[in-house]
Amino acid sequence: MALEQEKSLAVPAAALDDVVVAMAEGIFGGPGEVGRHFSGVQLRSVDMSDPVLLADSTIGADVVMVTLQPLRAAHVRALAPSVRVIGRAGVGLDTIDLDAAKAAGITVINQPAYGVTEVASHAVAMLLALQRRLGSLDAFVREGWTGPAPLSPMKALDELVVGLIGLGRIGRATAQMLTGMVGRVIAYDPAFPPLPHGVEWASDIGSLLGCSDVVSLHVPLMPETQSMVDAGFLAAMMPGALLVNVSRGGLVDEDALASALESGQVGGAGLDVFGVEPLPLSSRLMDAPNTLLSPHCAAYSERSTWRLMSWTLEDTVSWVRWRTVEHGNIVVVGDR
């Protein structure tokens, strides 16, 4: 749907009146910008980094709206008793202590659908750029175009086996973009969701790693998936295979990845997300060969930005007014 067509509200404008929303500092251009579209809502900007500040600055707020700002247990417990709902403007829930929200009776709503096409296409773009060695070839031209171009090793696209770990919304969209483009798409997901046409199951991660020219991660960061890409995982990849991660930095042991890239065991990496963001200049990944880095922006488009802002606001207001949600997922149902 065209962006301008989408800019009509799913809740009656009057419903917005008098709902007080405390927004994490800096998100969506701040209260002034958001207020241009949602004039009835009372918006305020809040520093989410400090639980003490949060306690005071959320007094009277119905909604707290965050993107990637962490809401650990101390932050959640510090929220004023008026706060009934946390609107996570995004997908990943690793930044919010859901147990603390449940214990406090606060509802948590996230937005899994706002940027699926964008994230999947970012993964595919990284895969294609790495596979065609575009970073090295661009540098080669700029550095004088002398001697042999850094072309090798390079398979044809339709020879590639791509292994997707995680076949939820984004993994599935990535699979749909890749089938018909690459040789084979295989996937591993312990939940075994319905398989998109043209995709095959791998029985486990080991068998996926043993035959994939490219491995792309599409799993949430949870205690079970923290550092799942460790030295053993990287050693089990085919020599020279590529790794793409547009999910969460914490899935990858970055030191082990840097070593594998330096040794050539991993032939290249496309990374949108990092254990620490912004990625420190001292990170070994900065100098790793055949590595493309982007600043946690895989979900970005003007449409997804509008969706994320408007859907989060509409759903949280709608929850406060009627305990219903139009766009997102209710992750925790609170009794406040």
Residues forming the site for ligand NAD (CB under 6 A)? 91-92, 112, 115, 119, 165-171, 188-191, 193, 218-221, 225, 246-248, 272-273, 296, 298-299
Q: Tell me which residues are annotated as active site.
A: 248, 277, 296
Using CA atoms, how far residue 256 sits from 10, 243, 287, in Å, is 47, 13, 14
192/322 with CB nearer ligand NAD: 192
Residue type, 45: S
Residue type, 153: P
- Least distance to ligand NAD, CB of residue 109, Å: 15
Q: Measured from the CB of residue 168, what is the shortest distance to ligand NAD in angstroms? A: 2
Return the SS3 of 298: coil
Nearest residue (beta carbon) to ligand NAD? 168
Q: How do beta strands 161-165 and 291-293 pair?
A: unpaired
CB of 120 to ligand NAD, least distance (A): 9
Output the smallest distance, CB 143 to ligand NAD, in A. 31
CA–CA distance from 76 to each of 25, 51, 71, 84, 320 (Å)? Answer: 17, 8, 6, 11, 18
Tokens of 317: 């207001």
* For ligand NAD, the closer CB: 38 or 114: 114
**How far apart are the C-alpha atoms of 324 and 6, rounded to whole Å?**
20
Identity of the residue, 2 or 191, whose beta carbon is nearer to ligand NAD in the bound complex? 191
Sheet with 63-66, strands from edge to edge, namely: 42-46, 20-24, 63-66, 85-88, 107-110, 329-332
CB of 173 to ligand NAD, least distance (A): 8
In angstroms, the CA 221 to CA 177 distance is 24
Residue type, 163: G
Residues 58 and 64: beta-carbon distance below 8 Å:
yes
Q: Whose Cβ is closer to ligand NAD: residue 120's or residue 320's?
A: 120
Please say which residue, 57 or 69, places its beta carbon nearer to ligand NAD: 69
CA-to-CA distance for 63 and 334, rounded, in angstroms?
13
